């Protein structure tokens, strides 16, 4: 008799810009929906997680697209908006219909290299803005979303944050405000990535992915 795919150990990787906001719901729903599944979670940056997937050290990873996956297989879960934020006294907060491609990149704060949100932020900018970013026009980089919010709160610039971070209260007790952007709106796609050869591929696609979709904030 074949082993139950919803049992035993399952090693899940998750990136730092998702983990604080979804991991609690994921663990709770997994324990309820698959009580015999032992979820081992590893939080790390995208490149490290993809390498561990290829080496068979992880079973799947929750990451943000777009990114080059090589031969790995991605199951898209949901699209998430990226929100522009600034200090409430910033001139951006006094303007309606701000266009991201008109924002001065010298004031656009980024996470340090290795975070996919940094790449998504740069990709959302115009070619001229990307050139400025490539020239490291802003010497200040943050290692986490919490640090970046505090930099914005100190009036050191503006930033793009994942919608789930704002919903989770990351701006609570700060002077940081969300700015309504004009279309096109920046976003990232949350996806579960695994190997095509994974023995639990069917379980991942038909059971685990729907559970993860149900963890979407809002």
Tell me, yes or no, whether 66 lies in a domain: yes
pLDDT at 1 over 50: no
pLDDT digits (tens, 9 = 90+) for 31-52: 999 999 999 999 999 999 999 9
Asked if 89 and 65 sit in the same domain, the reply is: no
Q: Tell me which residue has tokens 């940081």.
A: 176
Asked if 31 and 87 sit in the same domain, the reply is: no
**If residue 77 lies in a helix (H) or strand (E), which one and from where to where?**
strand 73-87
Tell me, yes or no, whether 170 lies in a domain: yes
Residues 6+ apart with CB under 8 A from 211: 26, 29, 30, 33, 34
pLDDT at 212 over 80: yes
pTM of the model: 0.91
The helix, strand and coil proportions of the chain, stated in percent and rounded to the nearest 5, come to: 35, 25, 40
Asked if 193 and 175 sit in the same domain, the reply is: no
Neighbours of 73 (CB within 10 A): 18
Identify the domain containing residue 20 by its residue range: 8-78+189-213
Q: What is the largest CA-CA distance in the chain?
A: 66
pLDDT for 2:
56
The more confident residue out of 133 and 201 is 201
pLDDT digits (tens, 9 = 90+) for 118-173: 999 988 886 555 555 555 556 678 999 999 999 999 999 999 999 999 999 999 99
- Record the tokens describing residue 182, joined without a space: 């004009």
Asked if 102 and 180 sit in the same domain, the reply is: yes
Is the separation of the CB atoms in 191 and 57 below 8 Å? Answer: no
Asked if 50 and 87 sit in the same domain, the reply is: no
Domain count, the chain: 2
CATH code, domain carrying 161: 3.40.190.10
Tell me, yes or no, whether 154 lies in a domain: yes
pLDDT for 101:
84
Q: Is the dihedral of CA 51, 55, 57, 59 positive or negative?
A: positive
Asked if 74 and 85 sit in the same domain, the reply is: no
Asked if 114 and 177 sit in the same domain, the reply is: yes
Asked if 32 and 85 sit in the same domain, the reply is: no
Distances (CA, A) of 71 to 98, 116, 172, 199: 39, 19, 41, 16
Asked if 14 and 51 sit in the same domain, the reply is: yes
Asked if 158 and 115 sit in the same domain, the reply is: yes
Tell me, yes or no, whether 218 lies in a domain: no
pLDDT for 125:
80
Tell me, yes or no, whether 1 lies in a domain: no
Asked if 58 and 86 sit in the same domain, the reply is: no
pLDDT for 76:
98
Asked if 175 and 117 sit in the same domain, the reply is: yes
Q: Tell me which residue has tokens 């994942």.
A: 162
User: What is the spatial distance between Cα 14 and Cα 91, in angstroms, rounded to a whole number?
Assistant: 36
Tell me, yes or no, whether 47 lies in a domain: yes
For residue 97, give the DSSP letter: S
User: What is the spatial distance between Cα 192 and Cα 12, in angstroms, rounded to a whole number?
Assistant: 9
Give the mean model confidence (pLDDT) for residues 90-100: 90
pLDDT for 114:
86
């Amino acid at each position: 008799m074949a082993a139950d795919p919803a049992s035993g150990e399952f090693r899940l990787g998750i990136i730092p810009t998702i983990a604080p906001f979804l991991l609690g719901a994921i663990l709770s729903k997994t324990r309820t929906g698959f009580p015999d599944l032992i979820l081992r979670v590893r939080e790390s940056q995208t490149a490290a997680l993809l390498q561990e997937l290829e080496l068979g050290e992880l079973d799947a990873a929750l990451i943000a697209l777009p990114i080059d996956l090589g031969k790995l297989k991605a199951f898209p879960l949901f699209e998430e908006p990226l929100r522009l934020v600034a200090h409430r006294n910033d001139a951006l907060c006094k303007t309606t219909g701000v266009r991201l491609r008109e924002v001065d990149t010298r004031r656009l704060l980024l996470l340090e290299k290795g975070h996919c949100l940094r790449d998504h932020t740069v990709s959302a900018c115009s070619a001229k803005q990307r050139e400025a970013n490539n020239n490291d026009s802003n010497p200040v980089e943050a290692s986490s979303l919490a640090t970046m919010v505090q930099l914005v709160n100190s009036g050191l610039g503006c930033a793009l944050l994942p919608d789930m971070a704002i919903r989770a209260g990351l701006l609570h007790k700060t002077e940081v405000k969300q700015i309504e952007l004009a279309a096109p709106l920046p976003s990232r796609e949350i996806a579960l990535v695994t190997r095509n050869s994974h023995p639990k591929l069917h379980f991942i696609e038909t059971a685990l992915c729907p559970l993860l979709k149900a963890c979407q904030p809002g």
